[in-house]
Amino acid sequence: MIVPLFLDTNDCRHFSKDARRAIGEVCADAEPEIRSLLVDLPENIELACQTGPFVIPETGEMGAAIAPNRIGWTVDDRLPEGVATIVRTQLRFTLFHELHHLVRGWVMYGGAAPNSFIDGVVSEGLATVFERDFGGREAPWGEYPEDVEDWVAELLELPVSAPYNQWMFQHPDGRRWIGYRAGTYIADQAILASGYSATDLVHVATDEILMMSGIRLDKPNNAIHSTSA
């Protein structure tokens, strides 16, 4: 069961009764569908809801996989459409994305440490494809450019300590969602080659996803290289 938690106040200043009701309804409606696809979801999941400005401008909200049984959801309560409307238009899609992370183990706390920066790229790509193919969200962070293979080559060269926000959200050169978009490309190539879905690949290791997608792994110095770049 997905249990919403409201982290702001108990007087409904940030989440009105309507918004709280909408969150509960969206969770109740989406959960059975997602569980039918991701059968290894934990039985009890907390959805920690808060308001704040750090959201995706295009959607007015943003999710995060916090721990193996907790996801976070931030919504900008300053936007004119209001929190309840954002809940009803966006939360379902975000649940698809973040719950895929829980099953894969791509969480901030309590999961396995990444072996390479590309672990996050692949995990975000698979979750983006999952929310697209099964949730129905056509997200801009899932649209990759014609030169996406060059982006993949850049990401493959990064150390695990590379600045996450810069490569996943907003790069100083103006590009957005480099890791997400390249990861979506990698996931799409792996799915095309294997015939599997983002659901089938949820537990498949990063290096196997890369090989499915046509990327060759050379590890004499723990390096990873792309055959297509």
User: With contact defined as beta carbons under 8 Å apart, do 130 and 198 qualify?
Assistant: yes
C-alpha 165/C-alpha 101 separation (Å) is: 18
Residues 80, 150 within the same domain: no
Q: Is residue 10 part of a domain?
A: yes
Residues 58, 135 within the same domain: no
Residues 123, 162 within the same domain: yes
- At position 148, the amino acid (one-letter code) is V
Which residue segment(s) compose the domain that 84 sits in? 2-104
| 86 pLDDT above the threshold of 60 | yes
With cut-offs at 50, 70 and 90, classify the pLDDT of residue 7: confident
Number of domains in the chain: 2
Residues 121, 154 within the same domain: yes
Residues 84, 161 within the same domain: no
The residue to which tokens 């996989």 are assigned: 65
What confidence score (pLDDT) does residue 216 get?
65
Strands (E), 35-165: 45-51, 61-67, 70-75
b/e burial code for range 2-36 (CB count within 10 A of at least 16 → b): bebebeeeeeeebbeeebbebbeebbeebbeebee
- pTM, to two decimals: 0.92
Residues 85, 143 within the same domain: no
Q: Is residue 110 part of a domain?
A: no
Q: Is residue 227 part of a domain?
A: no
Residues 133, 55 within the same domain: no
Q: Is residue 81 part of a domain?
A: yes
User: With contact defined as beta carbons under 8 Å apart, do 208 and 149 qualify?
Assistant: no
Residues 90, 127 within the same domain: no
Q: Is residue 229 part of a domain?
A: no
Q: Kindly state the average pLDDT of the residues 195-219.
A: 90
Angle between the 117-130 and 148-156 helix axes, to the nearest 10 degrees? 140
Q: Is residue 94 part of a domain?
A: yes
What confidence score (pLDDT) does residue 14 get?
78
